[in-house]
Amino acid sequence: MSLSKHRHAYFAAGVLAAGLIYQPSMAADAPKPIPAPTPIFCASGNAGQLCSTLPNDISLPKDFPGNGYKGLIPTGQPPFDNFSWQAFVALNWPAGAGGKPLSNSITDKSTQGAPRVWSAYSTPGQVFGGGTAACPNSKGLPVFAMTSKIKKAAGKSIGEFLEPFTDMPLIDRNLNFVVYDVRLNPLEQSYIVGNGLQTKAGQQVFAAAKKTVGFPQGYYKDPATRSGGSVGAIELKTAWRIVDGDPKAQQRYYTIDGMIAVDAEHSDTGQAMCIPAKLGLVGMHIMERTTTDGTAWIWGTFEHVDNAPIAGNALPPTQTQLPANPDKWICKAPAVKDDRYAFYNPACTTCTSNQGPAKQKGQQNYTWAGKPPYAAKYANGGKYGTQVVRCWDIYGTTAQLNAAWQQKLAGSVWANYMLVSTQWQAPSETFPPVTPNIPTYLSNTTMETYLQVNKVGSCIGCHGFAQTTAKQNANFSFLLGHAQ
């Protein structure tokens, strides 16, 4: 039995329930038990209580494996997973004016409709030009623009309801498109504007001066007490499904009222549309730049627990190689039939998992219907949305920390979210290269549905391609490609 299968078998056998994680070894003796990971609920102060403090940097324990560590192991992942959870809770903390955290807890139901800390962060349109789409919006609702001014080589616009690299949409079981939003924190915005990187001309000047893009790194002035210093550059990408007319879903998700701006090019009617909608959060990427152990970013990716099931042939997260012929690899539907998922319907027995919808004959773009359901014409068999399954299993210690954080968030919608994993660079690596990544592959089923078993199915690996409009390395950020 391979190491990855050996580890996976222990997890499946119920070792997690016993509160122990087993670390497989090449030696013939029995695996050594490792204590269950300890949740650290606050980045500073009382680690036993939830707080609104963003972590500035990663804090590694004395027994951290150190240089030469290049694999996913139980003693190495928990510090990074706790970092991701701390960031997720702090960013989603209820906030007042300017994104200042309220004194109320994130679990306080009275703040359900309050903005979140990240709500005050800027969108790429506000930083790089273009602003927001023109929609009647007297209430100041967040606007989800369905097109971007970034142009592909072929000259086609990239829609904000299309996933990267594949340019295909994700459709939920109610036959509506998922929409996306991107934000960057004030520190990153200040760096971009301060260096003139918000324009193509500015990026040319920056490159001509032989400067290198390097976003601010988070750090602690006193790492021992986790005090002082500053948070680093932060980028967020969120995924949302329309939950209008679905009161059960509205109780399960963090929701916002928003405006979906569809341009004429992506409208069935040939006319631009402004669609008011209640949107439920289904996915969240958080990338934050830190100082400790390397110069890359830390990626934490979260999903709602009702998104999609784990595939019947799911790959172990410790695996570092893709299956043979990955283009032909099918992540199979699970044997257990569960009808609770937003992007998986067990009634569709003929649906192929993780297959994007085909455009209709003669169509150049995916288009929105004039009324809901907006993606009905792309339905599988005329009635099913995208049939999504998770191709990679959740790592054992990550699953344990998820359970602890969810219990701490009990009574709020935030208990319905889980960390898929945290990806980072091995401490022995320098920048560049961008590999090895730990874990090697990591995908969010709501944002990289069709890239899960793919050579770019990795946060760091994918973002390693990012360039400025002047063809400079963009320090893992695709946002600089928005410059006009």
Per-residue pLDDT of the chain (484 residues; tens, 9 = 90+): 222 332 233 223 222 333 333 333 334 445 566 678 999 999 988 889 999 999 999 988 877 776 556 678 888 899 999 999 999 999 999 999 899 999 999 999 888 888 999 999 999 888 988 655 567 777 778 888 765 444 443 333 446 899 988 999 999 999 999 999 999 999 999 999 999 999 999 999 999 999 999 999 999 999 888 999 999 999 999 999 999 999 999 999 999 999 998 988 899 999 989 999 999 999 999 999 999 865 579 999 999 999 999 999 999 999 989 998 888 899 999 988 899 999 999 999 899 999 999 998 888 889 999 999 999 999 999 999 999 999 999 999 999 999 999 999 999 999 999 999 999 876 544 433 445 688 999 999 999 999 999 988 888 888 888 999 999 999 999 999 989 8
Query: Tokens representing 453?
Result: 């078993």
- How many angstroms separate the CA atoms of 281 and 180, rounded? 10
**Pair 451, 432 in one domain:** yes
CB neighbours of residue 299 within 10 Å: 25
DSSP 400: H
- How many angstroms separate the CA atoms of 70 and 482, rounded? 34
**Pair 90, 18 in one domain:** no
Quote the pLDDT of residue 4: 31
* CA gyration radius, the chain: 22
Helix (H) or strand (E) holding 48: none
**Pair 4, 118 in one domain:** no
**Pair 148, 288 in one domain:** yes
**Pair 381, 305 in one domain:** yes
**Pair 153, 194 in one domain:** yes
DSSP 407: H
Contact assessment for residue 163 and residue 279, using Cβ atoms and an 8 Å cutoff: no
* C-alpha pair distances (Å), 88 with each of 84, 122, 149, 293, 331: 6, 18, 29, 21, 28
The separation between CA 296 and the C-alpha centre of its own chain, rounded to angstroms, equals 17
**Pair 110, 179 in one domain:** yes
What are the beta bridge partners of residue 18? none
Quote the pLDDT of residue 155: 35
**Pair 12, 89 in one domain:** no
User: CA-based diameter of the chain, in Å?
Assistant: 69
CB neighbours of residue 157 within 10 Å: 17
**Pair 26, 79 in one domain:** no
What phi and psi, each to the nearest 5 degrees, are found at residue 418?
-135, 150
- How many angstroms separate the CA atoms of 409 and 407, rounded? 5
Total count of domains within the chain: 2
**Pair 2, 49 in one domain:** no
**Pair 467, 446 in one domain:** yes
15: domain range?
Answer: 1-32
Cis status of the peptide bond prior to 373, with omega within 30 of 0: yes
Query: Tokens representing 469?
Result: 């409009």
Residues with Cβ within 8 Å of residue 134, at least 6 apart in sequence: 261
CB neighbours of residue 203 within 10 Å: 25
How long, in residues, is the chain?
484
**Pair 25, 113 in one domain:** no
Quote the pLDDT of residue 143: 82
- How many angstroms separate the CA atoms of 405 and 403, rounded? 6
- How many angstroms separate the CA atoms of 256 and 243, rounded? 10
